[in-house]
Amino acid sequence: MKVVVDANAVISAFKRDSITRKVLLFPFISFYSPAYLLDELEEHKAEIMKKAKINEEEFNIILNLLLGNVKIVPKEAYIDKMGEALKIVGEIDKDDAPYFALALKIGAGIWSYDRKLSNQRKVKIFTTGGLLEIIRKGTF
């Protein structure tokens, strides 16, 4: 099963003992993310460290752990799907276009905490609860 992970799911996984972290580290789901994820994490790094109550060294250690199960895909690999992705996200949030483009390219759904993304019907949006149910049933 292929799942594109968006920034808010990864950010949520910085919380100690979070269920999001456990799902992200689950070995039987193939997680992917556009390289744009790294830009978003860098942009919000100070906020993430403050909320998670961690220093920069701990941030880097946790980030490496979390991304150990996520294949980071360069923009060149999905750029041909950006036009279609921009049409899908439309007024939702253009910053999500790289996640949609990658999902379209590899035939995956997107794991996100952003409920607005479910307002479209082209790409499946997974919640953490939905992924937990898939894991529980073994239907990955």
| 16 pLDDT above the threshold of 90 | no
- In this prediction the pTM is 0.90
Report how far Cα 112 is from the mean position of its chain's Cα atoms. 6
Lowest-pLDDT choice from 19-28, 45-54, 84-93: 84-93
pLDDT of residue 93: 78
Q: What mean pLDDT is predicted for residues 50-56?
A: 94
Between 139 and 9, residue with greater pLDDT = 9
